[in-house]
Amino acid sequence: MMNRDSKTLLEVRGLCASVNAIEILKGFDLTVKSGEVHALMGPNGSGKSTFAKVLAGHAAYEITGGTVVFEGRNLFELAPEERARAGVFLAFQYPIEIPGVANSQFLRLTYNTVQAQRGKDELDPLEFDDFVREKMKLLEMNPDFLDRSVNEGFSGGEKKRNEILQMALLEPRLAILDETDSGLDIDALRVVANGVNQLATKDNAIVLVTHYQRLLNYIVPDFVHVMEAGRIIKTGGKELALELETRGYDWVGAEHKAAARVTA
Amino acid sequence: MSAVLQNLVNQPYKHGFVTDIESDVAAKGLNEDTIRMISAKKNEPEWLLEFRLKSYRAWLKMEEPKWPNVHYPKIDFQTISYYAAPKQKPKLKSMDEVDPELLRTFEKLGVPLHERMALAGVAVDVIFDSVSVATTYKHKLAEVGVIFCSMSEAVLEHPELVKKYLGTVVPTGDNYYAALNSAVFTDGSFCFIPKGVKCPMDLSTYFRINTEESGQFERTLIIAEEGASVSYLEGCTAPAFSTNQLHAAVVELVALDNADIKYSTVQNWYAGDENGVGGIYNFVTKRGLCRGVNSRISWTQVETGSAITWKYPSVVLLGDNSVGEFYSVAVTNNYQQADTGTKMIHIGKNTRSTIVAKGISAGRSNNSYRGLVRIAPTAAGARNYSQCDSMLIGDRSSANTFPYIQVRNNSARVEHEASTSKIGEDQLFYFAQRGVDAEAAVSMIINGFCKDVFQQLPMEFAVEATKLLGFKLEGSVG
């Protein structure tokens, strides 16, 4: 997907963030250009999901240092809803249930809000119904999803499809998929991955946060990053994920420490 | 709790102005002379004065109910004025004779007495403090035999009907506030739908308390004869005073064989300020009697105002196969207290009742649902379904549910479901991550929560209720 016309979408430098006064991100650097797919891997607690939530602006996380520039703007000057309207999308690891609110209403509200922000036409309920049903085919979703309350009583796989459906509707510039593969059986994984692949263009970028290599069989990354203790300690191509699958994470950490001793 | 949520739930009251109008206000205090004065002002017949005095004597022996889950200083009934009326000509022939200041007041409140109401096709009775100031569409209704007028007028012009039904659903000594109302009620609406008539338009009463330190004690009586049907709407507002005002109304509904009464309320009395100063004490007795077979009475209420709400619109299901319904949304904010619910008394065979109650509490408010379902030994095959849902906004409000279920017939079926939920930071973050701000998110969550009740409201009222919840729970964000 890399091409010479690609623009820098996201520039993260020295990002430090803490939750409940415990520092999770400790000098995190990452550059993402349009047309790229990045995989962010690493053991539990290394800070992958924290990074995703910090980008989206979750109030529980305090930024203690560093900068994040998204398309030339300081991301931290934008409220969470402004970041979303500007094109930052987070597919939640645990999508939130909203009882009593029909999925169709919710989807239309989010779609129209973002459309209005971009100076584009909003859709009335009938127009939106046609539009969203078309998008749902991409994810092989049953139309009865529209009448159910948002994520309420959805299976794990249904919730994840609903997240990717929202990505399809909102057409973000930067999509961060936080463990979208967890809780999916192999068929659902293929459908969701196929949907994501169809949404990837030369103008947007995707960051996959994942534990496992298996998602990367379907969505092939340009870069694989390994996180440990709040920062990226190794970056490679898609073959790095395969190596991690067979060897685990420990050797990356050991190699990183050894390299640190040499430079010190 | 986040600042965003705090801002959302703190919105100024929009109906808090006072109309500067010359009023005839009675001296404060309550005794038999006060009651004789009210009765005389209204040229009432002797039997009605007797009804009042009997109620007053019963009231003197009664005690204020202590069981509701609300707290307030003891009310001194001698500091209240029991009669306040705008000074104007005693009889109005048309709308054009109404004091323009009054008309402006109701325009400001969004209750247009002229053109817009005509377009909406709703007949309106307007009660300002103690008296009815205008009733629209009277003549058109009279063509089909429907009587819609103020209670004072009904007493003078249809005394036989008033005498026949008044106090038959809520007896004079029913409870403390009903007894007080029976003694001192000043005005209210009267509706009579004769046999076989389907009322051609919705009937509506708009109540406004304007005078400080006055009480409003209205009395409403609706009768639907055999096969008749009517939809009745009630709205209420009051100015913002730092003192508390008492509102103790009684509403009685009577449905004969195959009759159908639908009663909808949007109550938005002044609720007091954000520190809990001022506001209306709303102690109301509303009850319907399904006297005939296959009759149906349905209450829908959206309760957003008042410092204290104490109200249980009930249905006595006497006729076989009769149906009672109660749909309620009660919203409390700041220091408001609400103890509201219903009573469904099943006496006839195969009687059915449905209760759907939604409570929303924000700020430091306290919102209780209290409901009684009683199945008498005679009520073979009776059925009840109750659903009570509470929603909490922020972490300083509280919600309670007090269901009372008394079943004395083995063939009855009673179901009760309850839930409690909270608008959480996580839900708002989820909306935000999709580009939606907190205000729009709360509005969508609340409307989703209240959907089952709102869809019972007539169209114009549903729109008003949705807007009102908006005023109540939304605000300027950021």
For chain B, the helix, strand and coil percentages under 3-state DSSP, each to the nearest 5: 25, 35, 40
Classify residue B478: in a domain, yes or no.
no
Classify residue B10: in a domain, yes or no.
yes
Domain layout of chain A by residue ranges: 1-78+89-94+174-191+210-264
- pLDDT at B113 > cutoff 60: no
- pLDDT for res B274: 77
- Cβ within 8 Å, pair A59-B448: no
d(CA B475, CA B4): 9
- pLDDT at B115 > cutoff 60: no
- pLDDT for res B2: 45
Of the pLDDT bands very low, low, confident and very high (cuts 50, 70, 90), residue B90 is very low
- Cβ within 8 Å, pair B444-A81: no
Q: Which residue of B has its CA nearest to A176?
A: B433
Mean pLDDT of all residues in B134-146: 80
pTM of the model: 0.80
If DSSP codes are grouped into helix, strand and coil, which group holds residue A120? coil
Mean pLDDT of all residues in A237-245: 91
- pLDDT at B21 > cutoff 50: yes
- pLDDT for res B127: 66
Classify residue B354: in a domain, yes or no.
yes
Q: Within an 8 Å CB–CB cutoff, is residue B429 touching chain A?
A: yes
Of the pLDDT bands very low, low, confident and very high (cuts 50, 70, 90), residue A260 is confident
Chain A residues lying within 8 Å of B434, measured CB to CB? 84, 110, 113-114, 166, 170
Give the number of domains in chain B. Answer: 1
Looking at every residue in chain B, the average pLDDT score rounds to 83
- pLDDT at B7 > cutoff 70: no
User: What is chain A's Cα-based Rg?
Assistant: 19
Per-residue pLDDT reduced to its tens digit, A44-85: 889 999 999 999 999 999 999 999 999 999 999 999 999 999
Edge-to-edge strands, sheet with A73-74:
A22-33, A8-19, A61-70, A73-74
Per-residue pLDDT reduced to its tens digit, A17-29: 999 999 999 999 9
Percent of chain B with pLDDT over 90: 45
User: What is chain B's Cα-based Rg?
Assistant: 22
Q: Which residue of B has its CA nearest to A56?
A: B433
Classify residue B303: in a domain, yes or no.
yes
Range of the domain at B339: 3-473
Query: What phi and psi, each to the nearest 5 degrees, are found at residue B225?
Result: -75, -175
B123: left (phi over 0), alpha (psi -120 to 50) or beta: beta
Residues 430-469 of B with CB under 8 A from A: 430-437, 440, 444-445, 448-449, 451
Residue B414 and residue A61 in contact, taking contact as beta carbons nearer than 8 Å:
no
- pLDDT at B333 > cutoff 60: yes
Q: Which residue of A has its CA nearest to B421?
A: A99
Looking at every residue in chain A, the average pLDDT score rounds to 93
Per-residue pLDDT reduced to its tens digit, A97-128: 998 899 999 999 999 999 999 899 999 999 99
Per-residue pLDDT reduced to its tens digit, B198-211: 998 888 887 666 66
Query: The tokens of A262 are what?
Result: 């040499």
Largest CA distance in chain B: 69
- pLDDT for res B74: 86
CATH topology of domain A1-78+89-94+174-191+210-264: Rossmann fold (3.40.50)
Distances (CA, A) of A198 to A201, B71, B254, B358: 8, 61, 64, 43
Residues of A near B (Cβ–Cβ under 8 Å) read: 56-59, 79-81, 83-85, 89-90, 92, 95-96, 98-102, 105-106, 109-110, 113-114, 117, 149, 166, 170
- pLDDT at B238 > cutoff 90: no
